[in-house]
Structure 1
Amino acid sequence: MSASSAKVSRKENSNHDGADETSEKEQQEAIEHIDEVQNEIDRLNEQASEEILKVEQKYNKLRQPFFQKRSELIAKIPNFWVTTFVNHPQVSALLGEEDEEALHYLSRVEVTEFEDIKSGYRIDFYFDENPYFENKALSKEFNVNESGDPVSKSTEIKWKAGKDLTKRTGQTPNKAGKKRQHEEPESFFTWFTDHSDAGADELGEVIKDDIWPNPLQYYLVPDMEDEEGDGDDDDDEEEGLEDIDEGEEEEGEDEDEDGDGEDGEDDGEDD
């Protein structure tokens, strides 16, 4: 290699290294700016969460009189809550026959979200005098501890002698449970003693977020199905009547044709 060629090569490498250094510097500056922008986005998200929480608290208070009025009306309907639970696809899969029997004594359900919604909620079940337990009310509460971890606690069920449903693992599932292939469901009441995963309690969330906002939709499920079924029966009856009418018309036509033939024969004999 000539001396001039070596100079050119060193110059090219120097230019290339400078370009890499510039590129890396620009990337680092861009990353720092992205981090700054992201901090602003996070700040706005936190502000939005605080404002949304205030709105939710406001409307929770506004809904309370209507929840109270609804509970008073529900109290006039026998077996409202057990019917609602049996008709709910997820809850019904947890119910054995004896669970369902016990829930026939369930007179009222209430869901209370705490003032600071982030901190949790409580579900209260009120029962009439029943042969299963002494409690007039059973509650399960969800909140967060001092470390910010989700925890739950519940009422201890005072079972009557020989009536502890949580110790009967061989309960026969109801029809809804069979449809969902839950051959031997644990008792619904084991939920009150299960605090293993308070942050993802499926039954609690279903009751709070799905059933409580509008229990009537599940209470009315069978009636809606019956109405649809009645409509099908009416269609079948109409089709049956049409078939009968068509059959009578065809028979009438056959008789007319036979009659015409007989008249023709008589005419021939007269001739």
Structure 2
Amino acid sequence: MADPAEPHKTAENPEDVEEVEEEEEEHGDTPAALTSQLMQNPQILADLQHRLGSMVGVSSGYIQSLPKSVKRRIKALKKWQFEAAKIEADFYKEVHELECKYASKYTPLYEKRKTVITGNVEPTDEECDWPSDDEKEDEQLSEDMKNKANVEEKEKEDKDKKEGEDVKGIPHFWLTVFKNVDMLSEMVQEHDEPILQHLQDVQVKFSDTDSMGFTLEFYFDTNDFFTNTVLTKHYSMRSEPDEEDPFSFEGPEIVKCKGCEIDWKKGKNVTVKTIKKKQKHKGRGTTRTVTKTVQNDSFFNFFNPPQVPDDEEGDMDEDLEALLAADFEIGHFIRERIVPRAVLYFTGEALEQDDDFDEEGEEEGEGEEGEYDEEGDPDYNPTNDPSKPAECKQQ
């Protein structure tokens, strides 16, 4: 560093000026280098994050400082923005009408699916004309290998036919689907599985009275646990901008859900459990055993969701809000993915496709936030990297 008493060098000696600039660059004293070094200091980063956090939602004062005539024009833009939100709501209404129209076309296919799963109907050879992975692999085999594979396949078919004579439909279809999907498998407990083995079908019914609302219907065969043949879960949607916050509208969203009462047979309710507690009398010192009924983890709690108070929708408890958000996500996933693509979740193919999308997202994230590869960058020049300390020059 130059002596403060030393007179400043001027452009009359360009070599001195160039040498000083070069030395500053080598020692990382440029503004960019200083910024880089400061941003690597954890204490400074923590303080900066705290300050930025306190600024969230704080007005810069720019809008307030604008002339009245400009503010007036901004009001016009906001009014048009509100009109655009109403047009967007109309757009989603037409999409919903189109969805309802095509739902009737999907229904016959879903009904066929149900009859095959339950074993009430055996699909025809024409309906089963779909290549399997084994057949695709057979196409790549040699002639001798094909002949051997055909013999083995014939033996396997005979064995399967004999063993499958007593097998009806596709056993445990929906239970397998639920256990394959992480979001649902977390809900399914071991004591739920014998009940879900009786689940025959899951359907989505769109509501005419509740704008864009929908109902999930779970059809059960006769079982030893409850007398209901259908369990339902209804979701109410908000499809128009909120009057109090119209600019937050981003399309239809679930706002409420309502389950159904399950008519459990005596001693078969898996959503509750009985626990015994010992209580000690303070005065006499005697103890007694008290039996208490508490909620038990179960998939069937899905049909008894927390309710949204009508007068407190805008100010919900955080825990309640989190529970409802998770419930809404599950309901939406069953409607949009599980019901339309059930067989692919049964075989696991849909899970592989979902994983492919996740992996692509992770790769993009690594490109943005992952470690920087100096050797892999053809444009990397260590002499221009301000984050690395420059080597000291020999005097």
Q: Normalised by the shorter chain, which TM-score bucket?
A: 0.5 to 0.7
Q: CA deviation at 1:33?
A: 0.3
Question: Is 1:76 aligned to 2:116, yes or no?
Answer: yes
Opposite residue 188 of structure 1, the aligned amino acid is: F
Q: Provide the alpha-carbon RMSD of the alignment.
A: 3.2
Aligned to 1:12: none
Q: CA deviation at 1:220?
A: 1.1
Q: Computing the radius of gyration over CA atoms, which structure comes out larger, 1 or 2?
A: 1
Opposite residue 134 of structure 1, the aligned amino acid is: T
- Closer, same or farther in 2 for the Cα pair 1:160/1:30, shift >3 Å? same
Please, which of 72, 78, 86 is the counterpart of residue 179 of structure 2? Answer: 86
Tell me, in whole angstroms, the C-alpha distance in 1 between the residues paired with 2:187 and 2:235.
Answer: 20
Aligned to 1:216: 343
Please, which of 48, 51, 60 is the counterpart of residue 88 of structure 2? Answer: 48
* Structure 1 residues 73-100: Cα deviation after superposition (integer angstroms, max 9, x where no partner): 2431222211111111100011111212
**Structure that is richer in helix per residue:** 1
> Helix, strand or coil: the match of 1:138?
strand
> Helix, strand or coil: the match of 2:306?
coil
TM-score (norm 2): 0.42
- What residue ranges of structure 2 are gaps of 5+ in the alignment? 1-63, 118-169, 243-253, 276-294, 309-322, 353-395
Aligned to 1:195: 306
- Closer, same or farther in 2 for the Cα pair 1:195/1:221, shift >3 Å? same
Tell me, in whole angstroms, the C-alpha distance in 2 between the residues paired with 1:86 and 1:185.
Answer: 19
Q: CA deviation at 1:162?
A: 1.1
Does the Cα contact within 8 Å between 1:53 and 1:117 map onto a contact in 2? no
Aligned length: 187
Tell me, in whole angstroms, the C-alpha distance in 2 between the residues paired with 1:209 and 1:31.
Answer: 43
* Structure 1 residues 16-45: Cα deviation after superposition (integer angstroms, max 9, x where no partner): xxxxxxxx9962211210110121122022
Q: CA deviation at 1:219?
A: 0.9
How do 1:1-271 residues align onto structure 2 when only pairs under 5 Å count?
Answer: 27-77=67-117, 78=170, 79-115=172-208, 118-143=211-236, 150-168=255-273, 186-196=297-307, 200=325, 201=327, 202-221=329-348
Identical pairs, percent: 26
Q: CA deviation at 1:194?
A: 1.9
Tell me, in whole angstroms, the C-alpha distance in 2 between the residues paired with 1:112 and 1:223.
Answer: 23
- Closer, same or farther in 2 for the Cα pair 1:120/1:166, shift >3 Å? same
Opposite residue 298 of structure 2, the aligned amino acid is: S
> Helix, strand or coil: the match of 1:159?
coil
- What residue ranges of structure 1 are gaps of 5+ in the alignment? 1-23, 171-183, 226-271
Tell me, in whole angstroms, the C-alpha distance in 2 between the residues paired with 1:169 and 1:32.
Answer: 66
Does the Cα contact within 8 Å between 2:258 and 2:307 map onto a contact in 1? no
Does the Cα contact within 8 Å between 1:168 and 1:187 map onto a contact in 2? no
- Closer, same or farther in 2 for the Cα pair 1:116/1:136, shift >3 Å? closer
Tell me, in whole angstroms, the C-alpha distance in 1 between the residues paired with 2:196 and 2:100.
Answer: 28
Tell me, in whole angstroms, the C-alpha distance in 2 between the residues paired with 1:142 and 1:203.
Answer: 11
